[in-house]
């Protein structure tokens, strides 16, 4: 049985197949147009067709645009300066005299007469403790002293009588020696009683806690009604007239320091620059940080408190630094550039700058000593944007 030819396929069948292909192509075209439209819209919203940052015409790359040095434009030379170098070591301000006033007896707190920040004189009463039992102990010791004094007086009378009788050989030698022994024992007993009275007076004085030095109260740690024990801290205080800075210095730098050496110091909070003297170098490194503690003392300025942050500066070898005047720096956005003069022509060059020094602005890269740069007039200072 032979197959059917194209001419033998029914007309309605060929029309239906063509229509399906045309509908498929139309749907595919609509999908492509839809996807393209969405993509274009997203690109427009994202700003793909708009410039992000306008590039100033004067920020052209180095060597692309040159001009001649204009009349009246000032030129200065890039300098190589030698300046002392130093490294900072952080420290904390502490008092040389920092006292923790503690109780020496077990007693109840009756009164606290100071508060934090209060200035006190040496010997001023800080805390009063209950002393009723201590007064009773003192009275007992005083009574014992009086009894011992009476016994000593009686022993002295008996000894004097025995001495007279012994001279007349009216009493045996043994009785005389007994009277002498009793007299010495009574004298020793009286001395013991006197020392007991002195001890009771000292303990009674412990009930009144006084300031051992002139200074400022840092904190009071008890209140009226508390019961304190021997060794318990009642008040902390320090002498604000005698302060020091304790700095941590790494091993290699600590070898450069010596007791008595003068070093610069700074208190950032007070914006104070001063000079101190190394009073002590602790001869033991901290194992965790491999640093030494260096104590620096000096004239104590006002408004310095214990715990403040500070720095000391350790001198090192001199350093050589390339510097330019601040008036030579041009800024375009976050870029820093200078106008360099070569053979009478001026072209722009990007530079990397560092610290602001007394001699000028430090140049890390982009310039070398001896080159010449254009500077703005002194009244203008540094230039924001491009120099025409």
pLDDT tens per residue across span 316-355: 888 889 999 998 999 888 889 999 998 888 889 999 999 8
Per DSSP, helices labelled H in the chain are 11-45, 132-167, 173-206, 251-254
Q: What are the phi and psi torsion angles at 96 (to 5°)?
A: -65, -40
Q: Which fold has domain 131-206?
A: Helix Hairpins (1.10.287)
pLDDT band at 66 (very low <50, low <70, confident <90, very high): confident
The predicted structure's pLDDT at residue 300: 72
Query: How many other β-carbons are positioned within 10 Å of the β-carbon of residue 191?
Result: 13
Q: Which fold has domain 59-83+319-384?
A: 2.40.420
| Residues contacting residue 321 through CB under 8 Å, at least 6 positions apart | 80, 81, 82, 83, 357, 359, 362
Please state the domain extents for the chain: 12-45, 59-83+319-384, 131-206, 240-315
On the question of pLDDT at 264 being above 60, the answer is yes
> pTM for the complete prediction?
0.58
On the question of pLDDT at 258 being above 60, the answer is yes
The number of residues making up the chain comes to: 388
The closest alpha carbon to 234, from 97, 116, 98, 101, belongs to: 101
On the question of pLDDT at 11 being above 90, the answer is no
On the question of pLDDT at 279 being above 60, the answer is yes
Q: What are the b/e assignments for 65-81, b being 16+ CB within 10 Å?
A: eeeeeeeeeeeeebeeb
pLDDT tens per residue across span 132-186: 999 999 999 999 999 999 999 999 999 898 888 888 888 888 888 899 999 999 9
The closest alpha carbon to 278, from 249, 303, 239, belongs to: 249
- pLDDT top residue among 10 and 117: 117
The predicted structure's pLDDT at residue 171: 85
Note whether 59-83+319-384 and 131-206 share their fold: no
Exposure of 325 in the CB half-sphere (CA atoms within 13 A):
19
Q: Which fold has domain 240-315?
A: Elongation Factor Tu (Ef-tu); domain 3 (2.40.30)
Mean pLDDT for the chain? Answer: 85
On the question of pLDDT at 223 being above 90, the answer is yes
């Amino acid at each position: 049985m032979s197959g059917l030819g194209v001419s033998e396929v029914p007309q309605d069948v060929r029309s239906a197949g063509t229509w399906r292909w045309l509908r498929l192509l139309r749907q595919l075209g609509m999908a492509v147009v839809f996807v393209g439209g969405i993509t274009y819209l997203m690109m427009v919203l994202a700003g793909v067709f708009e410039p992000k940052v306008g590039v100033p015409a004067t920020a052209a790359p180095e060597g692309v645009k040159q001009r001649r040095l204009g009349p009246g434009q000032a030129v200065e030379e890039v300098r190589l300066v030698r300046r002392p170098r130093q490294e900072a070591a952080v420290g904390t301000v502490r008092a040389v005299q920092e006292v923790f006033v503690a109780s020496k007896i077990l007693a109840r707190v009756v009164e606290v007469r100071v508060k934090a920040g209060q200035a006190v004189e040496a010997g001023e009463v800080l805390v009063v403790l209950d002393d009723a039992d201590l007064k009773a102990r003192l009275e007992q010791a005083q009574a014992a002293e009086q009894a011992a004094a009476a016994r000593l007086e009686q022993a002295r009378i008996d000894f004097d009588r025995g001495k007279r009788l012994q001279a007349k050989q009216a009493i045996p030698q043994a009785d005389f020696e007994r009277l002498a022994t009793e007299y010495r024992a009574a004298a020793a007993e009286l001395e013991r009683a006197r020392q007991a009275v002195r001890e009771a007076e000292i303990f009674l004085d412990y009930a009144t806690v006084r300031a051992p030095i002139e200074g400022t109260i840092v904190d009071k740690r008890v209140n009226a009604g508390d019961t304190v024990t021997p060794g318990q801290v009642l008040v902390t205080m320090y002498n604000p007239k005698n302060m020091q800075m304790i700095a941590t210095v790494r091993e290699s730098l600590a070898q450069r320091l010596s007791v008595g050496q003068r070093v610069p110091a700074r208190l950032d909070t007070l914006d104070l620059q001063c000079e101190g003297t190394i009073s002590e170098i602790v001869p033991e490194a901290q194992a965790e940080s491999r640093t030494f503690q260096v104590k620096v003392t000096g004239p104590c300025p006002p408004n310095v408190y214990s715990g403040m942050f500070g720095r000391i500066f350790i001198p090192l070898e001199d350093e050589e630094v390339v510097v330019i005047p601040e008036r030579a720096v041009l800024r375009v956005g976050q870029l820093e550039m200078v106008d360099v003069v070569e053979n009478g022509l001026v072209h722009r060059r990007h530079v990397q700058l560092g610290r602001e020094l007394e001699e000028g602005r430090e140049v890390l890269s982009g310039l070398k000593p001896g080159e010449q740069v254009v500077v703005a007039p002194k009244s203008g200072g540094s230039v924001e944007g491009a120099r025409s």
